[in-house]
Amino acid sequence: MDKSAGNNDALKFIDLFAGIGGFHIAMENAGAECVFVSEWDPAARKTYEHNFKSRSPKIFEIDPSTGEQPRFVGDITAIDLEKQPDAIEDFDILCGGFPCQPFSQAGLRKGMDEARGTLFFNILHILREKRPAAFFLENVRGLASHMSGDVRTIKIIEEKLRELGYSYELFHVKASDFNVPQHRPRVFIIGFRDPDAAARFKAPEPVKLTRSLKDSDILGPSAERDIAYTLRVGGRGSGVNDRRNWDCYRVGDSVVRIEKEQGIKIQGFPDWFRFPTSVANSQAMKQLGNSVAVPAIEAYSNSIVAAIRGTSSGSKQE
């Protein structure tokens, strides 16, 4: 569903560690308006602006006194809300696929002891200072089992969020349960400041998978699989017989490597989404590997919006 931004009645959200905008699309479709974005990677920023500048122009406005984009920032660690409380305008929902490398099987699994892991504490800082109604965080499934010393990292995260007065629920979600032709197991962490909103929240039910790699606009009916391996950042081109393979498939008598056009569909991005010509295919595939499966995020976004508004269901996907 294509909604125009700027609705005064819309809930407002911020998009942290935004990547190429999967959360933006999902929350926009759920009826919320994006008012602040943070993404440090220059190539991902190009893709984000390329797709959302016409949809949410306010985010990309330049402050003439500084020449910067105050609502589209690179380094979230530079935002100190104690000193600059208006650096982020008031909002209702904090969204973030915070960096997963410290918690993934492919990483060194240092968790909170690694600099990227501590970016979670920037989320806590924003929650403490801005007090939004809810948060929606996404990470790799390894987060749920990762240890920081002799304590599970997820328990530290839960404790810190509850200390701020938020509820806490963790969900194990597969993209393929929300009509995305990709396994992509992830954890979603959702919480509310208002206990009544927390009580109203209902996790969405999985839906029947009707999308497949065998669809004509992905790999076609001769593809060996219905559901793709999880798109990743590293290991591209490992080969169809390599245990690390995630981007090569047998299609009839041939071996086909998925490219960005197929990757967009495998992640559930809408037809209007495009990579700018300045972003190479390899970089586009990296960005897709770092992204979220949009329909899965959207299903939970609908439920979050419904819980805050006190309605029985969120905006319907169309």
| Distance between CA atoms of residues 86 and 127, nearest Å | 14
Q: Hey, where are the domains in the chain?
A: 11-211+292-309
Q: Where in the sequence numbering do the catalytic residues fall?
A: 100
* Residue among 212, 240, 216, 215 at smallest CA distance from 226: 212
* Residue among 269, 207, 188, 257 at smallest CA distance from 229: 257
Q: Three-class SS string for 184-218?
A: CEEEEEEEECCHHHHHHCCCCCCCCCCCCCCCCCC
Chain-centroid distance of CA 289 in Å reads 11
Sequence-distant contacts of 107-116: CB under 8 A, at least 24 apart: 109/142, 109/146, 111/146, 111/147, 111/148, 111/153, 112/148, 112/153, 112/156, 113/148
* Phi, psi of 271, rounded to the nearest 5 degrees: -65, -25
At the topology level of CATH, where does 11-211+292-309 sit?
Rossmann fold (3.40.50)
What does each of the 318 residues of the chain score in pLDDT, given as a tens digit? 333 344 557 899 999 999 999 999 999 999 999 999 999 999 999 999 999 999 999 999 999 999 999 999 999 999 999 999 999 999 999 999 987 555 554 444 455 555 455 688 899 999 999 999 999 999 999 888 876 666 788 888 899 999 999 999 999 999 999 999 999 999 999 999 999 999 999 999 999 999 999 999 999 999 999 999 999 998 899 999 999 999 999 999 999 999 999 999 999 999 999 999 999 999 999 999 999 999 999 999 999 999 999 975 543 333
pTM as predicted:
0.90
pLDDT digits (tens, 9 = 90+) for 260-317: 999 999 999 999 999 999 999 999 999 999 999 999 999 999 999 999 999 755 433 3
**Of all helices (H) and strands (E), which one includes residue 46?**
helix 42-52
* Residue among 184, 183, 229 at smallest CA distance from 240: 229
pLDDT digits (tens, 9 = 90+) for 62-75: 999 999 999 999 99
